[in-house]
Amino acid sequence: MSDRLEFGTFLLLQTPSNEPSDVVYRCGVEIAQAADELGFRSTWLAEHQARLPALRVRALRARPRREPAPPAETRVLPMHLKVGDRLVDETGEWEVTVRPYTFPGGKNVHARVRRVDQPATAEERTWGAHERISVKRTASPPSAPRSNRC
C-alpha cells in the first residue's frame, strides 16, 4: 500500500462548440496523458458520450501507463532507496549504487553509495529503518510538446 494520496480525473468528452468527435477524442487523449504524467492514478470517461466509438476508448485504456516525474527532492525510508538516488551531506553528493538491504531484525538499513564527483570513492551507509532520508531522484525524460488547443 502506498503512503501517498492518489487522485483520478473524470472526463466528460464534450465541447460547447459542438466540435467533431475526432477533435473531442484527441483533446481527451491529451488531457488523459497529461493527467497520467502529473501522477493521476486513473482517468474515468463519461459513458453517455455516444459520438465516441468504443474502439477508441479501448485504445486509450490500452496505452501504457507512464511513471510520474518524481519531485526534485523527496524524503523516503531507507528501504525505498533506488539505484541512482542522490544524497547530499557535508562531504558531498553521493549516488546509491546497490539496492538497500537489511539483516534479520530489520532495525538498520544498509546501502552502497559512491561520490558523484569521484566515482572511485565508495562506501556503505547505514540508517535506522524508520529514519527518513532526503534524496534527489533522476527526472523522467521530457515528453513531447502539446498543442494548446485543449
Supply the pLDDT for residue 28.
80
Number of domains making up the chain: 2
Which residue, of 40, 62, 84, is where some domain finishes?
Answer: 62
In a domain, 117, yes or no: yes
In a domain, 51, yes or no: yes
3-state DSSP assignment of residue 112 = strand
> 37 with 86, same domain?
no
Query: Domain residues for 128?
Result: 74-135
pLDDT, one tens digit per residue, over 72-81 is 788 888 888 9
Supply the pLDDT for residue 100.
92
In a domain, 69, yes or no: no
> 46 with 81, same domain?
no
In a domain, 146, yes or no: no
In a domain, 36, yes or no: yes
Return the CATH number at 87. Answer: 2.30.30.30
Between the alpha carbon of residue 15 and those of residues 12, 42, 130, the distances in Å are 9, 22, 50
pLDDT, one tens digit per residue, over 20-66 is 777 777 788 888 888 877 778 888 877 654 555 554 555 656 666 66
> 82 with 35, same domain?
no
**Contact assessment for residue 96 and residue 79, using Cβ atoms and an 8 Å cutoff:** no
At residue 126, φ and ψ (nearest 5 deg) are -130, 135
Q: What is the mean pLDDT of the chain?
A: 77
> 40 with 79, same domain?
no
Q: What percent of the chain has pLDDT over 70?
A: 71
In a domain, 145, yes or no: no
Q: Is the pLDDT of residue 140 over 50?
A: no
> 81 with 115, same domain?
yes
Supply the pLDDT for residue 108.
93
Residue 24 backbone class (left: φ over 0; alpha: ψ -120 to 50; beta: rest): alpha
In a domain, 144, yes or no: no
> 91 with 41, same domain?
no
β-pairing, 133-135 vs 74-76, is antiparallel
